Amino acid sequence: MTKQYFGTDGIRGRVGESPITAEFMLKLGWAAGKVFSEMGRGRILIGKDTRISGYMFESALEAGLSSAGVDVSLLGPMPTPAIAYLTRTFNAQAGIVISASHNPYYDNGIKFFCGQGRKLDDAVEYAIEAKLGETMATVESDRIGKVSRINDAAGRYIEFCKSCFSSSHNLKGLKLVVDCAHGATYHIAPSVFRELGADVIEIGVSPNGLNINDNVGSTHPQGLQAKVLEVGADFGIGLDGDGDRLIMVDELGEIVDGDELLYIVASYLQQQGHLGGGVVGTLMSNLGLEQALLAQGIPFVRAAVGDRYVLAELERRGWQVGGESSGHLLCLNVTSTGDGIVAALQVVAAMVESGKSLRELKQKMTKLPQRMINVPCPATVLSAPAVLAGVKHIETRLQGRGRVLLRASGTEPLVRVMIEGEDLALVDGLAEELAGIVATAGAT
């Protein structure tokens, strides 16, 4: 079966264009409410990031859910992983996130969590889509859902994050920069690290509804790099608009990406005797990560791109740690979903425990040159004869000492072209060549 609305990371698109409209969100709230109410009466939490359209969609979802007879609790601006956590701790039936993650302000989307703080099963998403095809009808007035606001949500989540860091350690003497991308962590992340004892310099903490992810955060780390060097910080932490992704910057201003962070966390847990198995990456994970983990006797497997696939593979194997190059890290030993703040705390714990800097901790992993180019075109080009021939030709030129990967984005109308190999100049040239072939095929 093919889903009409749900993609790999919920429902996402440009605001004002179907399905990201107030009218659709009203119907979506009602449809989700009907599906969940059939499972028993309970409340649903709604949180959002800082983009201006979140207010509109929050109201529409609230109306739809209450018209279906579901009680609603509003969280206000909160990171995606915070909503997962609060859904669990409040024993809610589900949680809804209004966010488009790392996308610009003019996009938005909806993600759901089940009562366990994990993404919905396919069966529930299919059931919601089926309800969307029915006529909306409001329950009797005495059954309309009640709406309330949880005023201490931020404080609860800050305390949870702090609990993920050993009480036997603190961050006194460390200076760090935190970039919140003008997003949902703006009122949370600086407090977490400051209350643990760090000297915190914060940037990207002035959201106005339009500046989320705008040249700030994990997808635009240049400002974070410059600030780390300017203030002489020990390291920097870069989060995305909804707080589920992380990149870091070392004391020399160099980026430490998701693959390197995953290596640091896994190595630390292995040394502590708490890894509990191996590590799950994705098809995009750098070959250097795999090589470095295997050198330490840590098994490594690849899942399809997308945190839900990483999570599924972790659960299938009974492992705890996985993630993506983009910085979406899963630490199931402490939380149920990707969490930028919690992941950063795991990295910082490795630093404090070892007495080593971020730069020193990443030294045992050597990344192979990798180049990815996003080509705006439909996914159908992946089966075009010219593209298939181009891939075969480039694989031959790599002579078995690299990888070629083409995949359609699950959140944007793009095809991602990735080449990995030992020689940087060759990798760059082959990536440009294949991206040109894809673009040409997409235009015809």
DSSP 8-state secondary structure symbol assigned to residue 406: E
- Is 167 known as a binding-site position? no
The single residue of 53, 101, 285, 326 carrying the catalytic annotation is 101
Alpha carbons 91 and 273: distance in angstroms, whole number: 32
**Element holding 224 (H helix, E strand):** helix 222-231
Residue 27 dihedral angles phi and psi, to the nearest 5°? -70, -35
- Is 152 known as a binding-site position? no
Within 8 A by CB and 6+ apart from 375, the residues are: 414, 415, 416, 417, 435, 438, 439, 442
Alpha carbons 128 and 151: distance in angstroms, whole number: 29
- The CA-based angle 359-80-94, given to 5 degrees, is 145
CB distance 80 to 343 below 8 Å: no
Q: Which residue has the tokens 């080449």?
A: 419
> Closest Cα to residue 56, out of 85, 91, 15?
15
37 is catalytic: no
SS3 of residue 41 by DSSP: coil
In terms of C-beta distances under 8 Å and separation of at least 24 residues, what long-range contacts does 297-303 make, across chains too? 297/270, 298/266, 298/267, 298/270
Within 8 A by CB and 6+ apart from 265, the residues are: 321, 329, 331, 343, 346, 347, 350
- Is 121 known as a binding-site position? no
Q: Which residue has the tokens 């990371």?
A: 9
> Closest Cα to residue 122, out of 33, 281, 34, 7?
7
Alpha carbons 315 and 358: distance in angstroms, whole number: 29
Count of Cβ atoms closer than 10 Å to residue 444 Cβ: 7
CB distance 73 to 96 below 8 Å: no
Strands 329-331 and 300-303, sheet pairing:
unpaired
SS3 of residue 405 by DSSP: strand
CB distance 50 to 184 below 8 Å: yes
CB distance 245 to 102 below 8 Å: yes
State in Å, rounded, how far the first CA of the chain is from the last one. 29
- Is 242 known as a binding-site position? yes
Binding residues for Mg(2+): 101, 240, 242, 244
* Active site (catalytic) residues: 101
Binding residues: 101, 240, 242, 244
